[in-house]
Amino acid sequence: MKILGLILAGEKGQNLGKLTNKRASAAVPIAGKYRAIDFTLSNMVRAGIKRVGVLTQYNPRSLMDHLGSGREWDLDRKNGGLYILQPYVSDTSQLWYRGTADAIHQNITVLRRGDEDYVLIGSGDHIYNIDFTPLFKYHLSTSADITILTKSVEGYDPALYGTVKTDQNERIIDFKEKEKENFGDKINLGVYFMNKKLMMDLLYSTVPNGKYDLVRDVIIPNIENLRIMSYKFSGYWRNVKKSLIEYKRINMDMLNPEILNELFSPSRKIYTKLKDLAPPKITSTGSVVNSIVADGCIISGKVSNSVIFRSVNVKAGAIVDNSVVMEGSTIEEGAKIVNCILDKNVTIRTERSYIGYEEPLFFEKWQVV
Amino acid sequence: MKGDEVVSEIIAMILAGGQGTRLGVLTENVVKPAVPFGGKYRIIDFTLSNCINSSIYTVGVLTQYRPRVLSTHLGIGRDWDMDRKNGGLFVLSPYAAAAEGEWYKGTAHAIAQNIDFIDQFSPQYVLILSGDHVYSMDYNEMLDFHISRNADATISCIRVPLSEAHRFGTVITDNTSRVKEFEEKPKNPRSQLASMGIYIFNWKLLKPLLIEDSKNEESSHDFGKDIMPKLVNENVNFYAYEFEGYWRDVGTIESFWEANIDLTRSMPALNLYDANWRFYTHSAEMPPAFFGNESEVVNSLTSEGCIIHGKVDGTVLFQGVKVKKGSFIKNSVIMTNVLIGENCIVEDAIIGENTIIGDNCKIGIGDKVKNERYPNIYTGGISVIGEGVVVDEGSTVGKNSSIGNFLNTKEMKVKVVPSGKNLRIDGLV
């Protein structure tokens, strides 16, 4: 079974404020050393997908820097590998991607050229670890035209997610977009699996007519005449771009050993850009409880209930509690942060104290406060 | 690759065949350069990283003894940016030719066997290195010295206490740093300048020397024993470069343990965190280290994939080590994927990869009794447990003791390995 992977990674993530000022939501740092896109990319690679297109648009520099040639995901290949698909100017197109369907349509050559029979579409800002192969089998055994990954709405706010309703055979009979009432019992996880030819036919018949959204304009209008099946996922799944509070909560979820173990199971690895930093060092004055600490850190202060990214320096007498501290940040002597999110390379100066009460305090990249 | 197209000014040859017998069970299954060190590295990473950081991109690694782990670790050199179109990393194993096939008889013989490999790069200089040492060194400074003295050969030396000098090759120089005498492991050393096993040769000089040496049946084909004395006798421009910096020969259990524990102290001499002199390695992809609610970790290195619920002090934890509740680990080196059960006490120990220590074990407890069978290997009061060992719950392991690789103490029905004793496949000796 040959499958083309497509990852939608063009969004800004409006709700993340300054965190996505200079990066797409798929490039948001998460869980100590990863970027959001690592999860979907690793899931696809582990499912045997040899050709992956990443559709970028909003400020892709940080994302491109992270992906490079795709080497960390074994996608630096002579045949296939990683394709970065950016909006471009040509005789026939000079527009930004106007929607998800338009984005794929503008790159239809990638679909037309490959020898794949199927296409798997995922989103770059979802945090989960899944083995896709049962989904592929399910798609075949249920004779589905399209299979959509779903999850029980329990524990999620239906007003923030697209939901679906299914019949007793798990066929999807209705889509609801972010509704407070009369919502479906499963949320749509934004993963679509279908025959490549079908995908192309659907795009050719919709996008040129000004219909640009994959779900609203391409999938929903075909709910009657296509067999759209729901494949239920029961593991951990989060979307990083809902809100800053949610973003912090996802990071804090890593302090739950069960979630940590599920997401980073040794048998189903999540790959990321390697940086060969030294093991983190805890010095004689340091202490770390209920936290994760990435490579290259030197901890001389007190760290609790926090996620510490690579090369962070917590100096003697400093206190870090209930915070997310990204790569290269420094908490100087005697400083204190509680309920804060520090973007990369932030410096908290000596004896300063920052406490986030209802919402976490956010510090921009390179800020010195 | 066509030799006349590729020219490297300098190429490095790393001797990585050393058995390292004084590391006991640690080198029973792997060659010394492949022994894990410092939380995520293997010993050879330091030499390879020094090469990259010194902009030397053509490196031959000479393997011989148990090369499997080493070869897997090196791969095509990608982790050191040595997967190149021109030059790069080459693993050179002993080979059989039409008329003769043989193992490397000595360090000089190993290089001599690869003369055609070196020739294809037409180098001006050949840097001979050892994969056995942990150090941080810019080879360019040594090369500058070599060039400035118009030398034919340069040996790198480090000053050691006179009482230690008998363990090394020692060098006596005149006031221009020219080598006057070379003594390999002298009984009564007359110089503090110890050879680091690092040499730069003009290839034009070395090549005929190696050919001549390999034909000499009385030679032991060793750089220290045969080539160095010859350089002195033949009166070539042979200089000693004095290196000042961090360099350790981690060839004994005690020095290996100490060099690891040094990293946990404040401001260690070997800086692993220098962004301008990074050490590269091939490591597994694992999530950041997790510290539980009851963890108490001080003066320690922890690595990716660690899950710590116990107390850890003055210890190096490698990747994926799990320390359960109520356990206390002090002054120890715990290698990759070791599992330490609940309520254990581990002190002054080295524990090999993938070993499982059951609940309520006491490791490194007892009197410092001399090891009876291997008095020169298991010293310093250190307990050494090999890789893939299963230590049954409630066991005790004493000081200056060892447990062999892949043994299962439960199956062997051994609850106590007393101080100074060794558990081997044939029982307690």
**pLDDT for residue B68:** 87
Mean pLDDT of all residues belonging to chain B: 92
pLDDT digits 0-9 by tens, B249-268 = 898 999 999 999 999 998 89
The answer to whether B27 touches B75, Cβ cutoff 8 Å, is no
**CA pair distance B310, A349, nearest whole angstrom:** 32
**Å from B303 to nearest chain A CA?**
5
The answer to whether B84 touches B114, Cβ cutoff 8 Å, is no
Residue B4: pLDDT band (50, 70, 90) is: very low
Residue B2: pLDDT band (50, 70, 90) is: very low
Would you state the structure tokens that stand for residue A82, as one six-digit string? 């990683």
Percentage with pLDDT > 90 across chain B: 81
Question: CB–CB of A31 and B287 under 8 A?
Answer: yes
**pLDDT for residue B98:** 62
Chain A residues within 8 A of B317 when measuring between CB atoms: 279
Percentage with pLDDT > 70 across chain A: 99
Residue A33: pLDDT band (50, 70, 90) is: very high
**CA pair distance A247, B374, nearest whole angstrom:** 57
Would you state the structure tokens that stand for residue B301, as one six-digit string? 């290195």
Maximum CA extent, chain A = 68
Q: Between A283, A290, A293, which is nearest B288 by CB?
A: A293
pLDDT at A295 over 90: yes
List residues bridging with A128 in a β-sheet.
Answer: A237
**CA pair distance B237, A305, nearest whole angstrom:** 63
User: 10 Å Cβ neighbour count for A111?
Assistant: 19
Chain A residues within 8 A of B277 when measuring between CB atoms: none
Question: CB–CB of A287 and B79 under 8 A?
Answer: no
Q: Between B263, B286, B291, which is nearest A289 by CB?
A: B291
**pLDDT for residue A182:** 87
pTM: 0.91
**pLDDT for residue B266:** 84
Q: Which of A288, A307, A314 to mutate to test the interface with B (most CBs of B within 10 A)?
A: A288
Chain B residues within 8 A of A287 when measuring between CB atoms: 296-298
Using DSSP's 3-state secondary structure scheme, residue B123 falls into: coil
**CA pair distance B184, B195, nearest whole angstrom:** 9
Would you state the structure tokens that stand for residue B196, as one six-digit string? 């680091």
Q: Containing H/E element for B339?
A: strand B339-340
Cα–Cα distances in Å, from B213 out to A74, B63, B107, B140, B239? Answer: 46, 21, 11, 28, 21
**Å from B339 to nearest chain A CA?**
15
Question: CB–CB of A293 and B39 under 8 A?
Answer: no
pLDDT at B72 over 50: yes
Q: b/e for B136-150, b at 16 or more Cβ within 10 A?
A: bbebeebbebbeebe
Q: Between B285, B290, B303, which is nearest A279 by CB?
A: B303
B95-121 average pLDDT score: 84
Those residues with Cβ within 8 angstroms of residue A349's Cβ, 6 or more apart along the chain or in another chain: A332, A335, A368, A369
A103-110 average pLDDT score: 92
pLDDT at B1 over 50: no
**pLDDT for residue B283:** 87
**CA pair distance B326, B292, nearest whole angstrom:** 12
pLDDT digits 0-9 by tens, B190-220 = 999 999 999 999 999 999 999 999 999 899 9
More confident call, A276 vs A34: A34
The residues of B whose Cβ lies within 8 A of any Cβ of A are 38-40, 79, 263-264, 266, 272-273, 278-281, 283, 285-304, 307, 316-318, 320
A261-282 average pLDDT score: 93
Classify residue B85 by burial, with Cβ atoms within 10 Å: 0-12, 13-18, 19+.
exposed
The answer to whether B117 touches B12, Cβ cutoff 8 Å, is no
pLDDT at B373 over 60: yes
Chain B residues within 8 A of A322 when measuring between CB atoms: none
Q: Between B289, B293, B303, which is nearest A290 by CB?
A: B293
Q: Between B272, B287, B290, which is nearest A278 by CB?
A: B272
**pLDDT for residue B21:** 84
Q: Tell which residue, B359, B309, B361, B363, has the closest CA to residue B333.
A: B363
**Long-range CB contacts for residues B70-75, cutoff 8 Å, separation at least 24:** B70/B16, B70/B30, B70/B31, B70/B33, B70/B34, B70/B42, B70/B44, B73/B34, B73/B42, B73/B44, B73/B282, B74/B44, B74/B282, B75/B282
**CA pair distance B159, B181, nearest whole angstrom:** 16
**Å from B274 to nearest chain A CA?**
9
pLDDT digits 0-9 by tens, B289-323 = 999 999 999 999 999 999 999 999 999 999 999 99
A284-305 average pLDDT score: 96
Q: Tell which residue, B411, B378, B373, B374, has the closest CA to residue B397.
A: B378
Question: CB–CB of B304 and A294 under 8 A?
Answer: yes
**pLDDT for residue B97:** 66
Residue B7: pLDDT band (50, 70, 90) is: low
Annotate A300-317 with three-state secondary structure. CCEEECCEECCCCEECCC
CA torsion B369-B375-B380-B381 (nearest 10°) is: -30
Residue B167: pLDDT band (50, 70, 90) is: confident
Q: How many residues does chain A have?
A: 369
The answer to whether B315 touches B348, Cβ cutoff 8 Å, is no
B352-368 average pLDDT score: 96
What's B223's DSSP letter?
I
The answer to whether A179 touches A159, Cβ cutoff 8 Å, is yes
HSE, CB side, 13 Å, CA atoms: give it for residue A354: 21
Chain A residues within 8 A of B297 when measuring between CB atoms: 282, 286-288
**CA pair distance A345, B105, nearest whole angstrom:** 53
Question: Which of A71-85, A138-152, A210-224, B261-275 has the highest average model confidence (pLDDT)?
Answer: A138-152
pLDDT at B129 over 90: yes
Q: b/e for B363-397, b at 16 or more Cβ within 10 A?
A: bbbbeeeebeebeebbbebbbbbbbebbbbbebbb
Residue A6: pLDDT band (50, 70, 90) is: very high
pLDDT at B358 over 60: yes
**Å from B323 to nearest chain A CA?**
14
The residues of A whose Cβ lies within 8 A of any Cβ of B are 31-33, 254-255, 257, 260, 263-264, 266, 269-272, 274, 276-296, 298, 307-309
Question: CB–CB of B298 and A283 under 8 A?
Answer: yes
